Amino acid sequence: MPEIILRIKTSDIKGNIGLLNPQDLSKLGAKEGDEIELYSTSRAWTIKTKSDSSVPIGEVRVSTDVLRRLDVEDGSEVRAYWAPPVVEEKYEPPP
């Protein structure tokens, strides 16, 4: 699954939402509303994506709470990873 390096910046956002440039979402293969994992050197945290073309390419904007949970400083680099949701298929044997 695709993975990209992003610079993490704080913004006036509530909850586990991350603002990303649409081009970065495309590089990940994700779309607005998908959940992505952010990884620091010691921790990981899941955020829900929101597309925002005013966010510079290569940057993710999150709340100060997400920064604290990842144990990183404003402006640090994090890895972003997205995996498509698993779709469970049920097998129905023939009658």
> pLDDT, tens digit, for every residue of 8-37?
999 999 999 999 999 999 999 999 999 999
Burial code of 41-73, b = ≥16 C-beta within 10 A, e = fewer? eeeebebebebeeebeeebbbbbeebbebbebe
Q: Tell me the pLDDT tens digit for each residue of 60-78.
A: 999 999 999 999 999 999 9
Q: Does domain 3-81 have CATH number 2.40.40.20?
A: yes
Residue 1 has pLDDT above 70, yes or no: no
Q: Do the Cβ atoms of 53 and 82 come closer than 8 Å?
A: no
Bridge partner list, 61: 9, 19
Show the tokens assigned to 56: 């510079």
For residues 64, 75, 5, 12, the Cα torsion angle rounded to the nearest 10 degrees is 30
Distance from the first to the final alpha carbon of the chain: 39
- Domains of the chain, residue spans: 3-81
